[in-house]
């Protein structure tokens, strides 16, 4: 499913290159959870947002259905909707909102406790764009942030163009690896500690 959604990010990026004149839509961050997907996007207007999300969902559905059919050994390829309802949108207008959105998307795996079953050497969700994010507190002074496995293929996203997602969010502090979205305080760094 990761590869299928990765292909959908490729499709969305290619569409942006070809159709930016009709209204830009850029996926800036993505987080793939067990039962849902979070996207942080930039769009020029409501039409560009709607068109971009529809294109992403159609591409993702095609790739997911193809992957599912192969894995299940189906003779006829599975077809139909993968996303049962419309996307939820929240317009980000302040630096604090931008920081909270980044923390929510990039650390959402901790909220759902999916970090418990992952390789303990990964500080960030391997099914997100966290590895491409340059705002992690522990890496603030490093020239090179990560060296990932040769088998890891990162998701395809754009660097943010808006001030809020480029630098404005930094007014409220860099992100910590162990932040749990929605928690009243940060969880201890020990992986054995239950989430709050």
SS (H, E, C) the chain: CHHHHHHHHHHHHHHHHHHHHHCCEEEEEEEECCCCEEEEEEECCHHHHHHHHHHHHHHHHHHHHHHHHHHHCCCCCCCCCCCCCCCCCCCCCCHHHHHHHHHHHHCHHHHCCHHHHCCCCCCCCCCECHHHCCCEHHHCCCCCCCCCCCCCCCCCCCCCCCHHHHCHHHHHCCECCCCCCCCCCCCCCCCCCCCC
pLDDT of amino acid 119: 64
The domain spans of the chain are 2-172
pLDDT at residue 148 above 90? no
Q: What is the tens place of the pLDDT at every residue in 124-141?
A: 888 899 888 989 998 777
Q: What is the tens place of the pLDDT at every residue in 8-66?
A: 998 888 888 777 667 789 999 999 988 888 999 999 999 889 889 888 888 888 888 88
**pTM for the structure as a whole:** 0.81
């Amino acid at each position: 499913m990761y590869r299928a959604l990765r292909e959908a990010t490729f499709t969305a990026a290619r569409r942006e290159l070809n159709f930016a004149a009709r209204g830009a839509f850029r996926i800036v961050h993505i987080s793939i959870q067990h039962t849902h997907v979070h996207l942080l996007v930039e769009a020029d207007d409501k039409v560009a947002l709607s068109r971009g999300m529809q294109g992403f969902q159609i591409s993702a559905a095609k790739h997911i259905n193809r992957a599912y059919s192969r894995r299940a050994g189906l003779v006829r390829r599975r077809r139909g909707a993968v996303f049962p309802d419309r996307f939820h949108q929240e317009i980000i207008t302040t630096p604090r909102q931008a920081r909270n959105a980044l923390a929510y998307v990039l650390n959402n795996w901790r909220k759902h406790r999916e970090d418990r079953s992952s390789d303990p050497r990964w500080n960030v969700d391997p099914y997100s764009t966290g590895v491409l994010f340059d705002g992690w507190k522990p890496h603030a002074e490093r020239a090179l942030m990560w060296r990932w496995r040769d088998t890891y293929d990162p998701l395809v996203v754009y660097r943010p163009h808006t001030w809020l997602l480029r630098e404005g969010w930094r007014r409220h502090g860099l992100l910590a690896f162990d932040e749990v979205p929605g928690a009243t305080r940060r969880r201890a760094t020990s992986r054995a500690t239950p989430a709050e």
